[in-house]
Structure 1
C-alpha cells in the first residue's frame, strides 16, 4: 500500500507530505535540493516496517508552496522544526540528504527537544578553510547551472532519456528516476511536461546556503549523529563531514558506495544503513 498524502501549514506555507504508517516512533525524511518527497519511496517503505515514516516537500519543491523568495537554509531548518511540531512527531529521528542533512543538523542544534537521532547523507558542510575562491567559483557554477537547466520536454519518456545522459542522474535506479519525473513534473497545455521546481528557485536554494553558518551550531547538538559520505571523489564535502564529526559530541562517519546521489542510486543499501543506525536507539 502506498503512502498517505497530506498538507500542513508551516511558517505561513503549505507543505505537502507523505506518510507511511509504521509501528514505531517517527522518522522524518528531508530531501536534497531540487528533489521531492517521493524520491524517498523505496527507502521509506523499507523503514516503515519498524517506524512511522514521514517525508515532506521542502518549500519551493514538489507540491509545497513556492514563495518568490525566502530560500535561505536557515529557513529550511526552521521549517523542519515547525513541521515536526505541527504533526506532533517529536522527538523524531531525522534523515536528511545534502542540504536536507545540513538543515537537520541546524534544527537539532536550535531545537534539541525535537530530534532524537540524525542521519545526514552527505550533508553540505564546507569547512571555513575551504570557503576560498575555488569553492566560491564552484558554488557559483552550481547556481548558474541551475538557472540554465532544462525544465521542459515533449514527454516524461523524453525527460527520462535526457536525464539518463546527465552525470547527476546517470546511475539512479530506474524506478526512482521515473518516480522523480512522474511526481516532479506537470503537464502543460501544449502537451509538454515541465519540472514543478523552476531553475530560478533551485538557484535561490543554492544561494541560500550563505544564510546558515552551521559550524558554530555543531557543539550544541546532543543527539547521536551518523554522517555518511559517498565513495565518489568529493574532497570538500568529505573533509567537511569529517571535521563536523570531530566537533560533534556523539558522531561517527560511514561511507556509502556511489555518487552524491547514492540514496537514489542504491536505495536498499541506504535504507539498511539508516535502519542499522536508528535501531541502535
Structure 2
C-alpha cells in the first residue's frame, strides 16, 4: 500500500445461478471500509455509486486492482467533489481466472469450440439481478456504473439485453472490441496466437521473470504483470495437462481463449445495439493513441457510424502512448479517465471535465 493511501478492503464471492445458467460466477468487492458480514438488510447511500468492472479476454478480474486503488485515492482526496462511491465489484468471465477452475466441467461440454462473450454478459446480468445464490446485496437499489475493457466492454453492453433490465447510471467503454464485418480474419489471427502461446512454467515467479523480459509483457505496468502471475496461474496437474505434475499453467487455457475469438455473434449484437445504448445511458469511451491492435479505421467506425454519431457519447478520450491493452500498460491513466467521467456524469451540478474529443 502506498503511504498515505486509503485502506481498501476486499471480499471474494462465488455466485451460483445454476441450473438456469451453467456457470458459477466469481467476483470481488472492494470497499473503503470493511463490508458487513451480511448485506441482506443494509443499503448503500442513495447518492453513492457502485462501480462494476468486466475484464478483457485473456486476463482476469484482479487486473482492475491498481485502477480501483487509484480511484479510491482520488475519491478520498477530492473533498470538493459531490461524487460518492460506495464500493466497486469485479467479475470474472466464466472461463477466466478462478471461475475457469470452478467451471472446468461445464466448459468441457461444447465450449471448447466456441465460447460466447454473451455468456459473460449474461453472468454479469444474473449476478446484478440477483438470479442465484451466494450474494445478498440488492443491486436493484444501487446506482450502478458499468466499466468494461475490450471483450468486457462488449459483455457490459450485452448485459443490458436480458430481463429484468439492468439500470446503469453511466457506462465506460475502454477500447471496446466493437468491430464491423471485418472481424473474421482478425478473429482468426487472435485464435491462432492463443493456441500457440506458451502456457506452462516451472513456477509463478519464473513466469513473472520470463514475461517481464519479453517485449509484449514489458509494456505492462509491473503491478499488473505481478497480479497476472499471482492470480492467472494454477498448479499442475489439470484437466488440460493430467500427466504434468510440476509447475503452473494458465487458468484460462489456450483452447478456451481461442474459443472466445471464434464468437462472431456477440460482438455483432453489441455493435448493432450501440446506437440505442448511447442514447439511453451516458456512455464514455476511451482509446489509446497507439493503434497497435484496433486500427484507427475501426475506432472511427464505432465513433462516427456504429454509435449514430460521435455526439452521442458523453465523452471520448484518447490516452497518449497507450494501445489496446491500456488497462494493463496504463492503469493510473485509465483510473484518471474513469474518475473524470464520474465527475462529468454524476457531480451535482455536472462539472466541465475538458475531455479530449476526437
Give the alignment's TM-score, normalised by structure 1. 0.89
1:226 is matched with: 284
Q: Is 1:8 matched with 2:15?
A: yes
- Structure 1 stretches lacking a partner, 5+ long: none
User: What are the superposed Cα offsets for residues 150-186 of structure 1, whole Å, 9 maximum, x if unpaired?
Assistant: 1101122321233234444221111110111111111
1:242 aligns with 2:303: yes
Query: Partners of 2:235 and 2:69 in 1: how far apart?
Result: 27
Name the counterpart of 1:259: 323
Rounded to whole Å, the distance in 1 between the matches of 2:202 and 2:190 is 25
Give the drift of 1:267. 1.1
Stretch moving more, 251-260 or 37-46: 251-260
In structure 1, the partner of 2:128 is 84
Structure-2 separation of matches of 1:149 and 1:158: 16
> After superposition, where does 1:268-279 map in structure 2 within 5 Å?
268-279=332-343
**Is residue 36–residue 184 contact of structure 1 (8 Å, CA) maintained in 2?**
yes
The reply on whether 1:29 has 2:53 as its aligned counterpart is yes
Unpaired stretches in structure 2, ≥5 consecutive residues: 1-7, 33-44, 76-84, 131-136, 238-244, 347-358
Rate the CA distance shift 1:2–1:195 in 2: closer, same or farther, 3 A: farther
Match of 1:56 in 2: 91
**Equivalent position of 1:71 in the other structure:** 115
TM-score by length of 2: 0.71
Aligned-residue offset at 1:45: 2.0
Quick one: distance in 2 between partners of 1:226 and 1:269? 15
- Let me know the Cα RMSD of the aligned residues: 2.2
Contact 2:275–2:307 under 8 Å retained in 1: no
2:229 matches 1:205: no
Q: Which residue of 2 aligns with 1:180?
A: 228
Distance between the aligned counterparts of 1:47 and 1:218, measured in 2?
27
Match of 1:127 in 2: 180
Q: Which has the larger radius of gyration?
A: 2
**Match in the other structure for 2:356:** none
